[in-house]
Amino acid sequence: MATLQKKYDELLKKYNKIKEEKEIAQAALDLTDHVISVIDIPNHTLFKFQKENENLLEAPHITDVPYSIVALGIIHPDDCENYINLFKEFYGGSPSGKLALRIKTIDKGWNWYMFYYKTIFDMNKTPIKAISFLEDINDQKTAEEQFEQYKKAVNEGNHLTWEANLSKNEVVSYDAHTDHIIKNKKSYSELLKGAFSLFANVNVTEELAQLFARDKLIETYKRGEKEVTYQFKFEDKRTNEISWYRATAYLTSQEEDILVIMSIIDTTKHVDEHLKLEKKAEQDYLTGLLNRETVQERINYILNDDGLHAMIMADIDNFKFYNDQYGHIFGDEIIKCVAQSMKETFRTSDIIGRVGGDEFVIFMKDVRSQDDVLSRLGHLQKRLIEITHEHIKGKDVTLSLGVTLSSKDDTFLSMYKRADEALYQSKKDGKNCIRFHLLQS
C-alpha cells in the first residue's frame, strides 16, 4: 500500500509540474505579440498557436509548407526563395536560424518580420519538429532604410535635397542648397513645383511634376515600391551647355505617415564618362571609326525607313606590299591617314567604319543619285593624293571602291554582298577605280 501511495505521489507531482509548465507556457504565449507556430517536419505541416486554444492539434494548420504558403502570395516575391531555403535548413537538421522577410498585411501592404526557428530532434537525432515565431521588426527596418536613404542622399553630393511628409503634404526639412527655392513654400506640392521650375524645359518640367506628384508617390509606396528615379537632360539656352540630372524620391514611413526624401543630383560627369566608355566600345581602336558590329547595327536601323542610300566598300590598294616593305607600323599609319581622309570627306550623317584590316565601309544616307556618291568619292581620291604625312607623302595611296544603292527590303548583309562584288570587280579592273553593282530591274 505504501508503495502504491508513493507511486501516486510521484505521478501527482509530475502531473502538477507538467500542468505548471503548461500554464507558464500559456501565460508567456498570452503576453507575447509574436506569432508562434510548430512545424511537423516529417509531414511538412504547420500548426499555428492561438491564445484561446490550448490544444495544438485543434489549431489552424497548413500542409505542404513552405510551398503552400508561398502560393498564397503573402510572402514578398523578393523573399520567397530565402523563405523556402529556410525551411530546407531545419528539414535538413539545422538546429536554429532566422530570416528577415516581408509579409503581406491586411491592407495589402508589406510588413517586415524576423522569422526565428528552433529544431527539436528525437532519440535518433532525427529532426521531428521546429518551433517558430515571427517578430514584428517593421519599425526597426524602416529606421534602417531611412538612415540608408539619408546616407545615400548625402554621399551622392546633391544639387537639391529635402524631406516631406506626403500624408500631411508638409515640408519637414531641407538642405542649404534648397534654401533659395523654399522661401514661404510649406507644402510638398509647392516645393516640388518650385524645384522643377528651375529647369526651363516645359516637357521635362511636366514629366517630373507628374511622376513625382504627391498622390502618385503615395500610390507607389502602397504598392511596396520604395524608390522612384528619373534621369533627364537640361540645355542651358544662354550657353548651349547640356547637363544631366537625376531626380530620386526615397519613400519610407513613420507611424501612420508616408515620408519622402527628395533629391535632384547633377550627374553630368557620370553620364559623360558613361557615354565616353560606350563610344569607346563602338569604335575601332586604331582609327576611331565605328567597328563592324556597330556599323551593321546602325545601317540596319536606317534601312527600316524609306529612302535611297548608298553603301561603299573601300580597300587600300597594295596594302600587303606596304606592310611587307616598310613594316606594320607604317601600315597602321596608312590606315589612320585613309580613315582621317574619309572623316574629312563625308557628311556627319554618313556612317564610316573599319570592318577588316585595310577594309572600310561607308554608308551614305539619303542620296539623290549615284552622281552624289561619285562626287564624294572623287573628293576622297583627291584627299588621298594630298596626304602630307611625312612617311607616306608620295607613296601613291589609292583605294579600290565598290558601290551599291539600296532597294526595298535591303539589309546590311544584302548590301554588303553587292558592294563587295563591285569591289572585287574594281580590283579586277586594275585597282584605284570605282565600280557600281547595278541592280537588275
Q: Where are the domains of the chain?
A: 24-136, 140-271, 279-437
- Smallest Cα–Cα separation from 422: which of 361, 344, 341? 361
Nearest to 118 by CA among 99, 133, 131: 131
Helix (H) or strand (E) holding 301: helix 292-302
Report, in this order, helix, strand and coil percent for the chain, each rounded to 5.
Answer: 45, 25, 30
Angle between helices 319-326 and 328-345 (to 10 degrees): 140
> Which of these, 224, 225, 216, 221, lies nearest to 257 by C-alpha position?
221
Q: Do domains 24-136 and 140-271 have the same CATH topology?
A: yes
Higher pLDDT, 137 or 161: 137
Query: How is residue 394 written as a grid cell?
Result: 608620295
Per-residue model confidence (pLDDT) at position 380: 94
- pLDDT score of 160: 72
pLDDT at residue number 16: 58
CA 404 to chain centre: 41
Class of domain 140-271: alpha beta
User: What's residue 24's pLDDT?
Assistant: 46
With a cut of 70, say whether residue 33 has pLDDT above it.
no
Cis before 127? omega within 30: no
* Vertex 379: Cα angle to 344 and 324 (nearest 5): 75
Look at 14-23, 133-142, 180-189, 287-296 and tell me which has the smallest mean pLDDT. Answer: 14-23
**Most confident range, picked from 73-77, 107-111, 278-282:** 73-77
Mean pLDDT value across residues 265-280: 69
pLDDT exceeds cutoff 60 at 179: no
Please state which of the ranges 70-79, 143-152, 362-371, 422-431 shows the lowest mean pLDDT.
Answer: 143-152
The more confidently predicted of residues 398 and 180 is 398
Q: For the segment 302-352, what is each residue's pLDDT rounded down to a tens digit?
A: 998 888 999 999 999 988 888 888 888 888 888 999 999 999 999 989 999
Domain 279-437 has CATH 2.30.42.10: no
pLDDT tens, 39-89?
999 999 998 765 444 443 344 788 999 999 999 899 999 999 999 999 999
This prediction has a pTM of: 0.42
Enter the C-alpha cell of residue 62.
497548413
Q: What amino acid occupies position 283?
A: Q
CATH of domain 24-136: 3.30.450.20
Amino acid identity of residue 38, one-letter, is V
Q: How confident is the model at residue 399 (pLDDT cuts 50, 70, 90)?
A: very high
Q: Does residue 34 have a pLDDT over 60? A: yes
Cis peptide preceding 77, ω within 30 of 0: no
Nearest to 208 by CA among 161, 155, 245, 251: 245
Alpha carbon distance 251, 5 (integer Å): 70
> What whole-number distance in Å separates Cα of residue 299 and Cα of residue 350?
10
The predicted pLDDT at position 7 comes to: 59
What pLDDT, in 10s, does the model give residues 200-250? 554 556 777 788 889 999 998 988 888 888 887 776 666 677 778 888 888
